[in-house]
Amino acid sequence: MRIASLSLVICLLTGPALALTAAPPGGPAEGGDTAPPTVQFYRPETTKVPYSQVVRVGDILYVSGQLGVNQDGKVVGDIAAQAKAALDNVDAALTRVGSGIGAVFKCTVMLTDMAQWAAFNQVYVSYFKPDRLPARSAMGVSALPLGSGIEIECWAYAPK
């Protein structure tokens, strides 16, 4: 039983990495193309920060961490206002590449104060359908860029 459990843990830990390198359907065993999925990088035109806001690998969109800031890059209000701004920023990033927040299936949330978790959740649930809540991880962190109290990164499914 221990070996089976260990195998499951190893599969869970290595699965996402393997999914990016595995041959697509129709690969060598089926006589098809073995080319890896196309990778596209979407970098904000106005930023001086060295990052891509969204990266597409095949049908998956990876959204870099979005802060609780407004259009001018200024941190807004309390944690509820910052959560709304961060989720609006996720939606805007996805919209720019032809998707939207409804396609999100995984979120990673970083908070500088875990005591704000309940206030964050009140805003978070308003962005997703109750029967389509993304998988989620959350962690408390000591600091975030620009003094933001929250950062949210997401994965979304967006077939071409």
Look at residue 10 and tell me if it is in a domain.
no
Nearest to 127 by CA among 151, 103, 144, 108: 103
pTM for this predicted structure: 0.77
Residue 129: Cβ within 10 Å count? 8
Look at residue 19 and tell me if it is in a domain.
no
pLDDT tens-digit readout, 39-86? 999 998 877 889 999 999 999 999 999 999 999 999 999 999 999 999
Q: What integer pLDDT is reported at residue 11 of this predicted model?
A: 34
Look at residue 145 and tell me if it is in a domain.
yes
Segment 78-99 mean pLDDT: 97
Q: What integer pLDDT is reported at residue 45 of this predicted model?
A: 81
Look at residue 4 and tell me if it is in a domain.
no
Look at residue 14 and tell me if it is in a domain.
no
Contacts of residues 143-146 at CB distance under 8 Å and 24 or more positions apart, as own/partner, are 143/112, 144/67, 144/110, 144/112, 145/67, 146/67, 146/69, 146/73, 146/74, 146/75
Look at residue 27 and tell me if it is in a domain.
no
pLDDT at residue 92 above 80? yes
Which CATH number fits the domain that encloses residue 120?
A: 3.30.1330.40
How many domains does the structure of the chain reveal?
1
Look at residue 73 and tell me if it is in a domain.
yes
Look at residue 92 and tell me if it is in a domain.
yes
State which residues form the domain around 145.
39-157
Length, in residues, of the chain: 160
